Each structure stands twice: as C-alpha cells, then as structure tokens.
Amino acid sequence: MSFLRRLSRNRLGLLGLIVLFVVVLLALVTPILPLQDPNATETADRFLRPFSEGHLLGTDHLGRDLLSRLLWGTRLSLTVGFAAAVIAATIGAAIGIVAGYFGGTTDNVIMRGVDMLMAFPYILLALAIVAALGPGLLNALIAVAAVNVPFFARNIRGITVGLAHKEWVDAARLSGMGHARIILSEILPNVVPVIVIAMSTTVGWMILETAGLSFLGLGSQPPTADLGSMLGEARAALISAPHTSVVPGLMILIVVMSINLLGDGVRDALDPRLRSGALTRPRPATMVSRKSVPKGEGRGILALQDLETQFHVGRRVYRAVGGVSLHVEPGECLGIIGESGSGKSVTALSVMSLVASPPGVITGGAVRYRDRDLVGMRYLDLRHLRGDRIAYIFQDPLATLHPLYRVGDQLTEAIRVHHRVSGREAWDRAIDLLRQVRIPNAAERANSYPHEMSGGMRQRVGIAMALANDPDVIIADEPTTALDVTVQAQVLSILDDLRRDRGLAIVFITHDFGVVAQLCDRVAVMYAGKIVEQGPTHVVLNDPAHPYTRLLIQSVPELGQGRRDLVSISGLPPPVEDLPPGCAFAPRCPKCEPDCTVAPIPMLGSDHHAARCIHPETPLREAAE
Amino acid sequence: MGAYIVKRLISAIPVLLGITVIVFAIMALIPGDPATAILGSYATPENVERLNRDLGLDRPAWQRYFVWLANMLQGEFGRSFRLNRPVIDEVLERFNATLILAGTSFVLCTIFGILAGTVSAARQYGWADKAITFAVLLGISIPSFFLGMMMILIFAVNLQWLPVSGMYAIYGGGDLPDLLWHLIMPATALAVVATGVVARLSRSAMLEVLRQDFIRTARAKGVPERRVIWRHALKAAMVSIIPVLGIQAGFVLSGAVYIEIVFQWPGIGRMLVDAILTRDILLVQGGVVFVAACYVLFNIVVDVAQALLDPRIKT
C-alpha cells in the first residue's frame, strides 16, 4: 500500500512507530514480567539510586521498586490516555455526525453548545469536572475525554456537512433508507479515516492531560500510580532524590514524543499537497542549471536565446519551455500568443527568474538585457533590475495585489525599494501614477484596499505599479483576460499610449488574437513550449504559415463579420513531460505528412517571418523583404 | 471599529451566560448534600436544614441558578467556607498573580513562536528549519510540570542562578526586579508548549502564503527577500496565526495551574486545585466562571486585532 510505503519513508515517523510499539509491548507484557510488587514498601531501602542491587532504576520515598512502578504506571497512563481518546472520538463524532447530517436547528443548537464548551480554557473545564465528580483516575479520564469532545464534534461536523449533500447520500435517501441506516452505511465509512487522524494527533495530548491531572493529585489515588502521580509524589524529593522525578518524567516525554512523531508521519503521508510540492517555499529566484550559455549579443533591448525552463516534480520532468528565442526593441510591442499550457506564462516569468522554484528550473539558454545575462545573475543584481528596469503586469490583480496593504502603499513601496525618496514624495508619485492610468479620484483611491476596487481599477493599479520606476521593458501576462470588453479596450489604450510616449518595450502575453491585432507590432505563436511561428502581426494574421496558427485564427469569432464557420482544433496539446520527437502539433494537424513526426522541426523562413513547419500554408521566403 | 467592538461585546453575552449554565450544571452533579459537606458528618439535621435554607439549596435548581447569577452580576460570588473570606477577593488576588505569569508566557510564546515559525519556513529544509522543527516537537511533547521541575534542578539547585520558587524573595523582595527574577523560570516553562504550537502553525501558514501570487508580485517589484518574508508574507500569515494565539492564550491561562504548583506561584490555578481537594465548591465555581469570562473577553481583543489587521473583515 502506498500509504504505508510513504510512511516508512518518513524516518522520524518510523522511529516514532518503533518506539511506541516497544513501549506498548512493554506495557502489555508488564503483568507477566518478573517484576517486584509495585506497591511493596520497604522503608529501609528508601531513595535507592538507579543501578542499585535488586533495583535497576532505584526506589522511591517508600522504598518501592521504581522499574516496576514505572512499567505499571506506563500501562495505566497508556490505557487511560487511549480510553479517553476513544471515548472523546466516539461521542464527539456522534455529535458531529448528527449535527452535520440533520443540519438546520439541530445543527445550530448542538454547535452553539460546542462553542460554549470551547469558550472555556481547556484545562479549566477539566478541573471543573473533576471538582464535581471528585478526584480519582476514572473521573480524570471522564474529564479529559469530555473536554476533547468539542474538538472532535467540530471536525467531524465539517466533514459530514460536505458528505450530507453528496449525490449518493441523496440517492440513498430517495431509495427510502432510514436516517440511521444512511448514517451507518453511507456517512460513517467516509468519516472514520478523519476520526483516526484526529485521534492520532490528540491522543498524545490526552495522555499529557491525564498525567497532568494525576500530577495535581486529582487523578489516580495512592497506592496505584500512573506516570503523572508518580511525578507528583516525587516532587517533594525533587532536590534530594531527583531520579524519582526524572524516571517517570522521561517516560511521559518518550511516549508523547513517539506518538507525535508517528502522528506527523501519518499526516504527512496522507497530505497530497506535501507530495505535489505545493507546500514548498519558492526561492527568491528560479534555480538555474545550465550546461552551456549561448554566445553572442542579444538583439533589441531584451532578447531570449534558446531559453529552456522545466519543472522537476519527483522523477518527472515537465518541459514547459523548450528553447524559446525572442527579442523586443525599444518602443515595440511583441505579442506572445498560445493556448493555456503552451508555456507562454512560464516563458515570461523566466525572464526575471520568477518561476516558482522548486519545482521550476531554468535548464538552458540566456536572457540578454542590454547585453547582461539575466539567467543565473547574482540575486542582488537581479533584484535591482526587477521592477526597476523590467516590470511585470500580472493577470487577476485580486490575487496578485497584497490584500492587506492599501494600493497607495503598494505603489509607494515599488518606488522606494529602488529610489531613496521620502515617503511623502513617493506617495505623491503614487497618486500621480494612478492618474496616469486614468483612475478617477486618484488621491482617494490610493487609500483603498484591493478588495474595495473593481477588476478594471485593480488592473490599472497593476499597470501603475509596473510603471512606477519608468522601466525599459514591461512584461504583461494576460493583463486583460479577466476584464470585460470595454474595460479591456481602455486598459489596452493606456498601454499603447505609454509605449508611444515613453518608448517602452512591451512583451504582451495573451490568448486573444483580437488583442494582438490591436496592440502588437510583431507576434510569436507558442505551442507545447516552443515558438511555432513568428513575424509581423499583419503578416501572421493575414498569411499564417503554420497550420496551427491558421486554425487558431479561424477559431476566433469576429464581431460584425456575420455568421462564419468557427473551426475548433480537435484533440489536446501533448503533455509536456512526454513530447513527440517531431512536430508537437502533428497529431492534431490536418496537413500532417509522415516526415513531420520523424525529427525535430527547425524554424524555417527568415528573420522577418518564420515558422516551425516543413509543409507551411504559405511559402516562407528565405530572405527578409 | 467602535461599533464592531460593541457588536462583539454584545455577542459575547450569550457565551458568558452559557458558561455560567455549564459551570452550574457541572456543580449540580456533585453527589451528596453540600451542607453536610460543609458542616461535616457530625452536624445535626436541624443545622443542615438551616444551612440549606440559608444557601437556598432547598429551592429547585433553576431558581438557585438565577439567584446565583443575579448575585454574581452584583459582584457577589459568595464566601469561601475554608478561607472564611469572600470568594471574589480571593479570586481577584490570585488571578492577579496568574495574569502576570500567563501574560508573560503569552508574550513569550507569541514572539518566539512566530519568530521560529517564520525562520523555519524561510529556511525550509535547511538546517535551521530542521533544528527548529525538532525543538518544536520536543517542546510540544514535554509536560510543562516535568520541564519546570528539571529547570529547578538545573538552574536553581545546581547552577544556583535563579530562585527555586515563589513570586517574591522572602526577605527584602517585593519590587519589580525581584518579581521578574522569580518570573523567568515559571514563565519560560509555561511558554514552551504554546511556543511550539505557535511556531508549528506559523511555519505552515507562512509556507501557504509564500506560494501566493502577491508574493510573486512583491518579488517582481524588486522588494528585498527579507522584506518579502517579514512584511508581505508574515502580515498575510498573521491572518491565520492570530486565531491560534487566542487559543494559546486560553492554554497558558489554564495550563498555568501546573506551573503554579511546581513553582509555588500564588495563582488561581493552585487555589482551584486546593479548593477542589477540600471541596470548597463556591470558590471553585467563582474561580472557574471568573477565569472563563476573562478568557471570553480576551477573545474579543483577539477578534478586534484580527479586524484591525484584515480590512476584508466587515466591521
């Protein structure tokens, strides 16, 4: 079973399992071990040190054998702790299932009660219960179980609410099954794993808590002793005979720690996010692992040379970007277009090493900005360029703006991390930026939080932020995708003006040919991590060479052109962890020939217009016009 | 914000009432006759009956509850028969000592827990992360009373750096430095478990946040990594850390009982244990209700802090 395999790979979890197993085994066989009577007092042998004759761990204040008392005490503590956990889990789960399944008033009343119980500081409630029932181990067990019931009830209710509205539960109800049967046969089996996990994380607590009550003298009563009351009795002789305290104390520590280790191991083994790497911290810059660096100077202000970016997840390698070369001149707008998953966003993020890493790795190529290679650049140098010379505009500004800072502060920060200006000055500049992107009442809006703005306004804030330091290049990753058409047109015209006024180079990533036609001078079409066609916008749009480009253009509905047959491209792009040797589009291509699938296809044509196709739709001229 | 605080205070009223009902119900479970418990088994039946009438114990439970509640609202918690002193005086005096202890521990666990968790997340899988993770595991597995005893052995008995127990020195003490001096060990011992819990949660909250898009935006702006972690990420992570701080406040407040016993700290936990062992029911009742009510009010402070941090919460 893969769960057990994953658990066994977690070395600490395995250690916990082994230690716990040994302790439980010892506790189980205690009655048949050749131990002395744990309650036999011998006043002559008081406080014998460990390793004394006949007493391996020494004796306590009444001359009782510590080893024997330790094992019997462990047995008792484990029993009580586990019993409390089982009782709390059973009652808590029952309450949670009833509340979650029936919902409505039942749920309301029950959960109100649970909230009341949770309003008590944890141990205080246990003390109150013991106060009522009187000191004693059984009463301590009841108290500890009772204070843990709300925890289980709340967790299980959450799960049950989700289950109660599933189709199969509705089906069972319609087929005339009673509530009790539905709960037992449909709900319970799905809830049990959650109960077990919740128990594994709380049983350590319960052992600690019962030990605590016994330590206070409210749990097990003399002469029987669990670990807690052993420690409580030993406290009087802490200074003169510390070993009587250390022995039971260490045992509690060992038991609880092994349970916690095991619990963590179980949780980690079950957590899918941990496996997929969704809980790893991305580094400040993407990892770089290049065998060689392409020579030569880049064209334009920003040039990508054979850039390769991969995602390494476990043993799998996803080639998201497989050798992309591009460049953009000052004042020029280059569009990158492709379906989702074609690698266009990863290409854009790779420029400034912003691909989350792990799992992202830049495995080849270079990014030249003014003849400096941005790939593998020292983090400090990279950071100085980020947002200052090369800035980004991201899609979905609700997620990309910090939810807890005012937009004015976020703009101010963008300025102040690169320029030594006063806060006042930066704030004024921030308001100025908001005006430039045509936000009405800019001075007021600077005080807003992102969630208080509309999508179009937030997107403008994103643009203002990119403009904060008057960069040379702006990389815009689908900045208009989330917007409605009128707002989209406004945002595009803002970008277009800026490009003309400031000589800004723009790399514009989109999946929308309409946007490309409106804004871009040149366009590059991406498919499965590679550029398949590149050229001036009007040439590519009017005279596409690659069949993919043609199909992509035909799949766009055009306004005002009347009814037209829309073409959809059959099939799906190939998975980037398993690319075919030849043309990646071949399996979906209507014009596919046998030679398409044999070897990698190079870019053919000229600097002006090129396509990765050996059977192009229009002949590609070798030389520029 | 003022309206929000008032709203939260009003919504706390049913919770506070619920607490009194629960405490009253638990105490009503007590087997036997309280008057006999107070007067001892040699009391004459007439005396028992008179005391029952004086205490209102001959009336039905719901009437007794309302009498008790009405008295409490007037600050009248009854008298402790063992101490022969008004419950409220004893509770306030003892609670003061507990508040000093638990408050210090709460501050410690907040600062060090968040610090450790953030460093751990920022250095995920590095040696600092591993060391902190192990220390946290040790911290949440060690019983605080055992830790306290070991600290006494090491720092008070062997090294003689710190006082063994108590809140003030017996001779010549009583000022603030003396109090702080006595506070170091118990506050630390009490804070260890809570620090572990806070550190653990801070780590996972930070890891969650560091994956978010707005962190990438901050990096794309050129924000220094240190600022990305300690400002952008930590501020967002605080949204999930603050509720846990509220729970930990309850934990140090009630968990103080062990530490108070180990270090002879004159707090309310020790008072409650003594009261339970001597069956001083009114003192237990009053003490539990008082501490629980303080905790409910503290949780309002937590909610307000949350609302101040997160503008998305409707105030």
A interface test, pick of B13, B212, B214 with most A CB neighbours within 10 Å:
B214
Of A119, A212, A404, the CB nearest to B310: A404
Q: Of the candidates B43, B73, B103, which is a domain's last residue? A: B73
Q: Take residue A223 and report the two structure tokens written for it.
A: 């002469």
* Pair B145, B69 in one domain: no
pLDDT at site A625? 38
B78 within a domain of the structure (yes/no)? no
Q: Could A122 and B250 be called an inter-chain contact, meaning their C-beta atoms sit closer than 8 Å?
A: yes
Q: Could B124 and A281 be called an inter-chain contact, meaning their C-beta atoms sit closer than 8 Å?
A: yes
Contacts of A378 in chain B (CB under 8 A): none
Model confidence at A526, in pLDDT bands (50, 70, 90)? very high
Of B141, B210, B281, the CB nearest to A282: B210
Of B153, B210, B213, the CB nearest to A400: B213
Q: Is 90 exceeded by the pLDDT of residue A270?
A: no
* Pair B66, B98 in one domain: no
Q: Could B141 and A204 be called an inter-chain contact, meaning their C-beta atoms sit closer than 8 Å?
A: yes
Question: What residue ranges do the domains of chain A occupy?
Answer: 3-25+73-270, 532-611
Closest CA of chain B from A201, distance in Å: 12
- Per-chain mean pLDDT for chain A: 85
Q: Which domain holds residue B44?
A: 2-73
Of A116, A123, A405, the CB nearest to B22: A116
**Stronger pLDDT, A573 or B269, i.e. the higher one:** B269
Residue that the structure tokens 């001779």 belong to: B171
pLDDT per residue as tens digits for the range B55-79: 666 777 788 888 888 888 888 888 8
- Using DSSP's 3-state secondary structure scheme, residue B73 falls into helix
* Pair B13, B144 in one domain: no
CA distance A404 to B312: 8
* Pair B108, B183 in one domain: yes
Q: What is the ipTM metric for this complex?
A: 0.87
Cα–Cα distances (Å) from A309 to A291, A317, A348, in that order, read 13, 10, 11
B166 within a domain of the structure (yes/no)? yes
B81 within a domain of the structure (yes/no)? no
pLDDT per residue as tens digits for the range A182-232: 888 888 888 888 888 888 878 888 999 999 999 988 888 888 888 888 898
Do A479 and A463 contact (CB within 8 A), yes or no? yes
pLDDT at site A594? 84
Q: Give the mean pLDDT of A323-342.
A: 89
Of B215, B228, B291, the CB nearest to A124: B291
Task: List, in sequence order, every residue forming a beta bridge with A390; answer none if it has no partner.
Answer: A386, A473
CA distance B233 to B76: 48
| Structural domains in chain B (count) | 2
Do B18 and A150 contact (CB within 8 A), yes or no? no
Q: Is A379 on the interface with B (CB under 8 A)?
A: yes
* Pair B50, B136 in one domain: no
Q: Could A121 and B261 be called an inter-chain contact, meaning their C-beta atoms sit closer than 8 Å?
A: no
Contacts of B250 in chain A (CB under 8 A): 120-122
Cα–Cα distances (Å) from A194 to A80, A153, A156, A565, in that order, read 22, 12, 7, 53
Closest CA of chain B from A241, distance in Å: 11
Q: Could B295 and A119 be called an inter-chain contact, meaning their C-beta atoms sit closer than 8 Å?
A: yes
* Pair B156, B29 in one domain: no
Cβ burial, residue A245 (10 Å; 0-12/13-18/19+): buried
* Pair B289, B238 in one domain: yes
pLDDT at site A169? 82
* Pair B55, B148 in one domain: no
The CATH number given to A3-25+73-270 is: 1.10.3720.10
Do A536 and A363 contact (CB within 8 A), yes or no? no
pLDDT per residue as tens digits for the range B1-56: 788 889 888 888 888 898 888 888 888 777 666 666 666 667 777 777 777 777 66
Q: Residue B291 belongs to a domain with what CATH number?
A: 1.10.3720.10
B50 within a domain of the structure (yes/no)? yes
Do A143 and A213 contact (CB within 8 A), yes or no? yes
Q: Give the mean pLDDT of A247-253.
A: 91
Contacts of A449 (CB under 8 A, 6+ apart): A403, A404, A405, A406, A407, B311, B312
Chain B contacts in chain A segment 126-155 (CB below 8 A): 127-135
Cβ burial, residue A291 (10 Å; 0-12/13-18/19+): exposed
pLDDT at site A565? 63
* Pair B69, B98 in one domain: no
pLDDT at site A275? 61
Closest CA of chain A from B18, distance in Å: 6
Q: Could B141 and A253 be called an inter-chain contact, meaning their C-beta atoms sit closer than 8 Å?
A: yes
pLDDT at site B56? 67
* Pair B168, B240 in one domain: yes
B260 within a domain of the structure (yes/no)? yes
pLDDT per residue as tens digits for the range A282-297: 888 898 988 888 887 7
Task: List, in sequence order, every residue forming a beta bridge with A320; answer none if it has no partner.
Answer: none
B286 within a domain of the structure (yes/no)? yes
A interface test, pick of B217, B281, B296 with most A CB neighbours within 10 Å:
B217
B55 within a domain of the structure (yes/no)? yes
CA distance B104 to A309: 50
Do B202 and B237 contact (CB within 8 A), yes or no? yes
Strands A610-611 and A604-605 come out as antiparallel
pLDDT at site B38? 66
Contacts of B4 (CB under 8 A, 6+ apart): B304, B307, B315
Contacts of A22 (CB under 8 A, 6+ apart): none
Q: Of the candidates B27, B45, B73, which is a domain's last residue? A: B73
Q: Of the candidates B73, B107, B124, which is a domain's last residue? A: B73
Q: How far apart are the first and last CA of chain B?
A: 6
Contacts of B149 in chain A (CB under 8 A): 231, 235, 238, 245, 249
Of B21, B150, B213, the CB nearest to A394: B213
Q: Which among B315, B301, B313, B310 has a CA at the least distance from the CA of B110?
A: B301
Q: Take residue A274 and report the two structure tokens written for it.
A: 């941990």
Q: Is A204 on the interface with B (CB under 8 A)?
A: yes
CA distance B239 to B243: 8
* Pair B132, B204 in one domain: yes
Helices (H), chain B: 2-28, 34-39, 45-54, 61-73, 87-122, 127-141, 144-151, 176-210, 213-221, 225-227, 234-262, 268-277, 281-309
Of A122, A131, A239, the CB nearest to B284: A131
- Using DSSP's 3-state secondary structure scheme, residue A373 falls into strand
Other C-beta atoms lying within 10 Å of the C-beta of residue B257: 30
Model confidence at A8, in pLDDT bands (50, 70, 90)? low
Model confidence at B225, in pLDDT bands (50, 70, 90)? very high
* Pair B190, B271 in one domain: yes
B195 within a domain of the structure (yes/no)? yes
Instruction: Give 3-state DSSP helix, strand, coil % of chain A, rounded to 5.
Output: 50, 15, 35
Q: Take residue A105 and report the two structure tokens written for it.
A: 């008033």
pLDDT at site B31? 64
pLDDT per residue as tens digits for the range A399-452: 889 999 999 999 999 999 999 999 999 999 999 999 988 888 999 999 999 999
Q: Take residue A616 and report the two structure tokens written for it.
A: 């192009």
Other C-beta atoms lying within 10 Å of the C-beta of residue A346: 26
